[in-house]
Amino acid sequence: MGYAALGIIYVVLLAFFGVRTFRNRRWILFALGFLLPLLWIIGGTVPPKGKSRVDALYEQRDRSS
C-alpha cells in the first residue's frame, strides 16, 4: 500500500511539473522531459521566460495607437 501511494504522488507531481514547464514556455525542457523527467522538475521551478522581442514590439505598437 505504501509503494502504491508513493507511486501515485510521483505521477501527480510529474504531471504538475510537466504542465508547469509547458506554461513557463520551456518547450525544449518539456519535450526532453519525456525522456528524463528530472527536466520537468527543473523547468517547473525556474521562473517563466520573459517576453520575446515580437511580443514587446506588439505591446509597444498597441500602446502608441
pLDDT in tens, 2-55: 899 999 999 998 888 888 888 888 888 888 888 888 888 888 888 877 767 777
Task: State residue 8's pLDDT score.
Answer: 94
Q: Is the pTM of this model over 0.75?
A: no
Q: For residue 39, what pLDDT is reported? A: 85
The reported pLDDT for the residue numbered 56 is 79
DSSP state of 46: S
pLDDT of residue 3: 92
Q: What is the CA radius of gyration of the chain?
A: 17
Q: Where are the chain's structural domains?
A: 2-64
